[in-house]
Each structure stands twice: as C-alpha cells, then as structure tokens.
Structure 1
Amino acid sequence: MRFLEVSEDPFYEIEYRSSGQGGRIRKVVLPFYKAIVDELPEGVTSFVITSDLQGREQNKKTNRLIGELVAEELSLLSELGEIPPISFVVLAGDFYDHPELHKLGGTGDVTNVWNAFAKEFPYVIGVHGNHDIVVESHLASNTIVLDGSSKNYLGVRIGGVSGIIGRSDRNQRKSKQEFMSALAKVTTVKNDLILLHLGPADITNSQLGELEITNYLLSKSKGIVAFGHRHWSKSFIEIGKNQVLNVDKRLYLVTTANE
C-alpha cells in the first residue's frame, strides 16, 4: 500500500471548541481530507486516520468530546453516499479536553471516544497519546490498542507504539530506549501502516518531532508512517523510503481512486 495522492483541500469541516492559552476558549475547525492509495485488500473500501482531536462539540448542553461527534458525522456522510463505506478507523492519540475548556493540554478519560467510533464502524485500532486515559474494561470488543504490537484486519496490517518519550512516572511516557525498542518491534515485521503518536522530525521543512525516530526511519524502515502530537503545516512528506503523514488535528479518509 502506497499513497498516490494526499489532498490539501478539505472535502468537509467540523467546527468545535477547544482549550486555549490562559484559560481562553478557542474556536477550531477540523478539516477532513482524502488520501488515495494504490490498492486496498478486497473487502476494504476506505478507512479513516485521525489524531489530536482535543476539544468539545459546539453544543454546550451535551458538551461531548469532539471525537464522539466526528464518529457520528462520518457515519452520516457514509449513509448519505458522500464518502465510501468505512471499513475501520485508526486513532493516533490525544482525544481529551476538559469539560470547562479551562486548561490547554488536559489529560483524561477518552473511553467514550473510542466507543463512539466502535459503535459506528466495524473496527477501531489505534495508539494512545500522552493525554489519553482509558478504562480498558469498558472499551468495546471491536477495539484494539497497539503498543509495540501489530494487528491484521481485513488484510491491512497495522503496527503501533503508544505514548511519547519522557519520564516513565508520567502518563503514557516511555524512556527513549523503551520507545525505540517498541518501534523496532513494529518495523522489523511487514506492516502496511506504522501508527505512532510521537512522530519524527522533518529536518527539510524544520517541522518538530523526535530526531531519533527520523534517523531510525531513514536507516531501518520502509512504508507508511502516520502520527500526531505535533502539528505540521506540511502534512505529507517522505523520509527515506517512508511516506510520512502527520494527522494532528486533521482527519484523512484513505481510499482508492475507484471509490
């Protein structure tokens, strides 16, 4: 599986509210893009990748995490025939924001977000971000969390690493050695997609990330890598033999040219 085209023009948008600096509530727009790949296995019409949906819906009465609304909107678009049926959803972490939207970078329970996608679509697979907490016993049965592991679903094999590099006593952090060891586990086997929360640095375009991941991809990896955590203005680049897609505060519908 290789990307042939990654659109820079959104086909759909959702407005939502998010915590800002100094307790300020921001109005934010989530863009939906299409990404065309050369092929998908029989039975897979499309799948979705997204991350860092840290905010709440516009409806202050229900005040759900924006990821819950996104799941419903995608389902509606599919029912209306505006997008192909979605075979599965890929989540790259960080789906929480405080109910009061009073503090940027809050950490909390995102179980409802995972379950909202699981309710609307056949399968949800992903990694956790450093601001995510889930109650694993409450996750729907058609969800799986990756962390130094891989999963094959409908012929698409996905490997993933949860969290970021940092102090191990903090939420969803690993030492650099632990993180790179987990990355090695999912790149030394043949995966169609490598899913991370913490991504590489883009040296060419001066976009932030982890330089050690960049160097590892250059020397030991080949394929598609998707991640969030830091927002890149140029979302799609190549690092060595890897196609690299930043999905921070974006949503991509991945499909073939025939759909």
Structure 2
Amino acid sequence: MIRIIKTEEKPFHILRYQSSGPKGNIRKVLLPFFRAYAEGLPKDISSIVATSDLQGREIHHRSARLVGEAVAEELVLLQEQKEIPTIDTLLMAGDFYDYPDCRKLGGTGDVTQVWNAFASISQHVIGVHGNHDIVDASQLAPNVTVLDGNTKSIRGIQTGGICGIIGRPDKNQRKTDIDFQSSLNKVIAKKPDILLLHQGPDDPQNQQVGDSMIREIFEMKGQSLVIFGHCHWRTPRIDIGKNQLLNVDNRLYVILPG
C-alpha cells in the first residue's frame, strides 16, 4: 500500500504563468512545486511527479506554449540542479489547455503536446483527461498510458483511472453519474495502489468542493492513494474511509521514498 507520510508546507520552487480570467482578463498565476514523501513505493523508484489543472500559457514566450510544456522544461532544470532526482513516472490528472491569447475561461483544446513533453522527461506517463482536454491518441509517445475505467501495472505500481467529470455525455469528457459510478466501482474492485481521477469527492468537513457520490463510494470502498484535481482545495491531503486523497489542482508534487 502506498501512503504519503509527509508533504512539505512550503514549495521548493515556483513557476509563474498566465491564464484566462473572468471577463476576458488575463491572470498571473503561480504554480507551486512541493516535495512529498511516501512509504510503500517499489525500491527502484526514485520519484513520481503528480499534477493537474495547468490551464495557462507561458509568459514572455513568442509561441505562447501551453504551460505544461514549460513545466516539463522546468523539471529537467531542477534535475540538472540536483533539486529533484530522476522522474520514473509522471501522473497527469487532467485539464492542461488554455487559449493562446488567454481570452476566455473554460477553453477546450488539444493538449497532445503537453503529454508528449512530459513523456520526454519521464520513463512513464500515466494519466486521465480533464473535461477541457482533447488529445490525438495517434500522436502520443509510446511511453504514455491513458486510463479510463481500467488499470495498468507499471514499475510495480498498479494504477487505475477515470477520465472526465460527471455531466452530459454529449459534451467533452463527461459521463452520466451512473456511468461514472460504474467505472469507479469497477476500478476500485481491482485494488489499485494509485487511483487517478480528474473530478474528485467533496469534503464537507473542510468545506471543500467536489462530488458527494464519489465521497460516499470512498467512505465504503477502496484503499488507494487517490490523486485528482478539477476543484482547488485549501487542504490538499485528507483521508476518506481507507483511502488517502491528494488534490493536485494547480499544484505539482514530487513524491519521494519516505
């Protein structure tokens, strides 16, 4: 069983980027990088990186690259500076798109280049799509795995995942509540060490937004490390039932052996 035993409260690195804001305004955003320490990782794992909801564009770059591409370069720089070790697996929990001119909140578009940028710096990339993501599967790097209602064992870690959010299935990356519930129960039954979602549960105790049905399932079932985004939480790490949850919305965690 993989469990995070400590997360550092202060980020060891920050990346600035820009993002679409309300009423067509462009926001300046900070992406914090945190170290976390976990027990139960296979002995040959140096580090795992987890992140989501990097909806923005690089500042002062002529091509206005998606910020996920800049994050990949930043991780390489941090490795060269010995700030972090080799990245064995990179976990993506969805939503990596913003318009090139950051003109409007909630843009949906192609994020294939972000997946491939992460694939170029990590041995394995495993993830799920957010409700704003479109990917050309034929162009994804061979070391990329997208999970949706299934599990896969990579480097001795059984990982499950479900793409998208609950909503109208005729819209991008959405499932009915019945279909989402069915997929979640199916994945939990396979007892994954790590479970990747885009949409996560609510947290009434800390007044944090999410879906109550997902929380109720976790209260009764599963014992995974659940990594998700979609809604930003002030308190990113909590327990529900036997599950440990880590919200990575606009955060990046470098998970190290504890």
Q: TM-score, normalised by structure 1?
A: 0.97
Q: CA deviation at 1:39?
A: 3.0
Corresponding residue of 1:130: 131
Distance, in Å, in 2 between the alignment partners of 1:203 and 1:240 is: 14
Distance, in Å, in 2 between the alignment partners of 1:174 and 1:39 is: 33
Letter in 1 for 2:67: I
Corresponding residue of 2:154: 153
Corresponding residue of 1:144: 145
Q: CA deviation at 1:122?
A: 1.0
Distance, in Å, in 2 between the alignment partners of 1:228 and 1:196 is: 7
Q: CA deviation at 1:6?
A: 1.6
Q: How high is the sequence identity, in percent, across the aligned residues?
A: 53
Q: How does 1:18-167 map to 2 (within 5 A)?
A: 18-167=19-168
RMSD (Å) for aligned C-alpha atoms: 0.8
Q: CA deviation at 1:82?
A: 1.1
The yes-or-no answer on 1:228 pairing with 2:232 is: no
Distance, in Å, in 2 between the alignment partners of 1:186 and 1:59 is: 42
Deviates further, 138-147 or 184-193: 184-193
* Structure 2 residues without counterparts, runs of 5 or longer: none
Distance, in Å, in 1 between the alignment partners of 2:193 and 2:30 is: 30
Q: CA deviation at 1:220?
A: 1.1
Corresponding residue of 1:170: 171
Distance, in Å, in 1 between the alignment partners of 2:207 and 2:20 is: 26
Corresponding residue of 2:202: 201
Structure 1 runs of 4+ aligned residues shifted over 6 Å read none
Corresponding residue of 2:257: 256
Distance, in Å, in 2 between the alignment partners of 1:177 and 1:193 is: 23
Q: TM-score, normalised by structure 2?
A: 0.98
Distance, in Å, in 1 between the alignment partners of 2:232 and 2:252 is: 13
Structure 2 counterpart SS, 1:140: coil
Corresponding residue of 2:8: 7
* Structure 1 residues without counterparts, runs of 5 or longer: none
Distance, in Å, in 1 between the alignment partners of 2:185 and 2:113 is: 31
